[in-house]
Amino acid sequence: MSTLGTVTITVAENAEPTEERGAAWSGVLAIEGSPTADKRLLIPGEITQRDLPVVLNVQLQTGDGHEDSFNCGRIDTIEHVPLSEMPPETVDEYRLENLPPNSIVIWGTGTFDTSEYADEAQRMLSNGAGVSLDLSRERVAMFDPETLEEIDDPDMGLEELLFGDYLQGIAGKIGGATIVTIPAFEEASIQVDGAKVLVASAYGLRYDRPFALIASAGPVKPPSGWFDDPRLRELTPLTITKDGRVFGHLADWDGCHIGFQGVCVPPFRSSSDYAYFNVGEIETVEGELVPCGKIMFSRTGAGHASDSPSVSYQEAQKHYDDSTKVGAFVRAGTDRYGTWLAGALRSDLTDLEIQHLRTHPPSGDWRSIGPSGPVELIAAFSVPIGGFPIRRSLVASADDEISMIITAPLTISPDDGARRRRRRKALLSKRLEDVFGPKNRTRAQMRKDALSLED
């Protein structure tokens, strides 16, 4: 748990009532006079703003424009600072050194509120998200991409305007900003100052109460025993305890993949003791380094890596590294029921992320290792509906002990046992056929073949 220090303030006796806000922030909202990658340009000197404060939103899932955004704070001040007047340390920190020399930095400050969306916004910022202006367009013009000068040619045809290699210059009024995963300006990002704020008479004042930046989900150095075989006594869905321990089954040997109709496709088995999954290491509280893999998740729309045969297992691993986030560090293994996972939640997850992991069971990503290699587990990814869903009927008490059944008893269809026996008989027949050949032999011949194998 991270906490902040304190600063003492004095408030005048006749000050207006105060409002407690979340963390303060400051940073670059946009750049005037510098082209974006999609050939847009904020016209220098023609960007204004509505009366302050204006809203700060966060887009939790990537979409068109800033749709599906939620309010998470506000912008209290906006300044338009020429690049030449920016402090050198700020130029370095925000990577402004490659901007056109006449650029103008739109610098903002403000506060987050105390909602769950504000927590999620700060998490996104810590993972590299930026900001994008919500701008009402008041004028649009064409600019030369080389000279950055406005083009005023009344004889320019519509086709040339639409398809020429020009910049679209925009003048307008700032109505707010939105925290997004990919901002229009690479330099547009804000930083959380950390301290909570009291707002009185429209002035932001830091006040002397420490607060936590983020709640701790799991220990940074978990006990080594958490990564051992959990020795589960039955098929167990993924379970996350209050102290951040993770354990449960990824799939069961008797299960059938729900994505195939009319045929039972059982789960794969690792021939390498999950060597292609347990590729990392985590230090435990005892000082040991334990091999482990990861449960990945995404709350921004990313899914499983492509199942195309042309995608190698290395490319699939890169997809999860680049597009998803680590939710838990776990080791994979095998018991009589199926593939188990055991380990610990990542230590800096938010409550919303933990909720996501609890409600989205892990799904295994199995890939061929090389053109003719074995099929191995390379990743576990949280999905709304797993390929091998494991029914949950028990819950943990406040002390993380199984205390009672809260759902209706599981209904087992009458043919479940018969279907399972038929499947096992078919598998056994297949194995016998692999050893002895086709079934067109007498019992005496089969006994003779069996005896010859023993010799």
* Mean pLDDT in consecutive groups of 10 residues from the start of the chain, 455 residues: 35 48 89 88 92 91 71 92 89 89 92 90 88 89 87 62 74 92 85 56 33 55 94 91 92 80 80 92 93 86 66 70 81 93 92 86 84 84 78 45 28 44 56 55 55 49
C-alpha pair distances (Å), 220 with each of 214, 227, 243, 285, 385: 14, 14, 12, 8, 29
Q: What is the pLDDT of residue 331?
A: 96
| pLDDT in the model for residue 424 | 56
Instruction: Round to whole Å and give the CA distance between 335 and 249.
Output: 9
Query: What pLDDT score does 340 carry?
Result: 95
Number of C-beta neighbours around residue 5 at 10 A: 8
Q: Using CA atoms, how far apart are residues 366 and 378, in angstroms rounded to an integer?
A: 6
Q: Are 81 and 107 in contact (CB under 8 A)?
A: yes
In whole angstroms, give the CA distance from residue 322 to residue 342: 24
CB 244 within 8 A of CB 344: yes
DSSP one-letter string for 280-330 = EEEE-TTS-EEEEEEEEE-SSS--SPP--TTS-HHHHHHHHHHH-EEEEEE
Residue 247 bridge partners (DSSP): 239, 342
Burial 150-164 (b: 16+ CB within 10 A, else e): eeeeeeeeeeeeeee
Q: Are strands 69-82 and 54-59 parallel, antiparallel or unpaired?
A: antiparallel
344 three-state secondary structure: strand
pLDDT of residue 56: 95
The CA-based diameter of the chain, rounded to the nearest angstrom, is 106
Q: What's the rounded Cα separation, in Å, for the pair 140 and 345?
A: 49
Side-chain-side CA neighbours of 255 within 13 Å: the count stands at: 23
Among 272, 316, 314, which Cα is nearest to 296's?
316
Q: Identity (one letter) of the amino acid at 271?
A: S
Q: Give residue limits of the domains in the chain.
A: 19-206, 224-405, 416-454
Task: Extract the tokens encoding 374.
Answer: 């074995």
The predicted pLDDT at position 334 comes to 94
Residue 223 pLDDT: 94
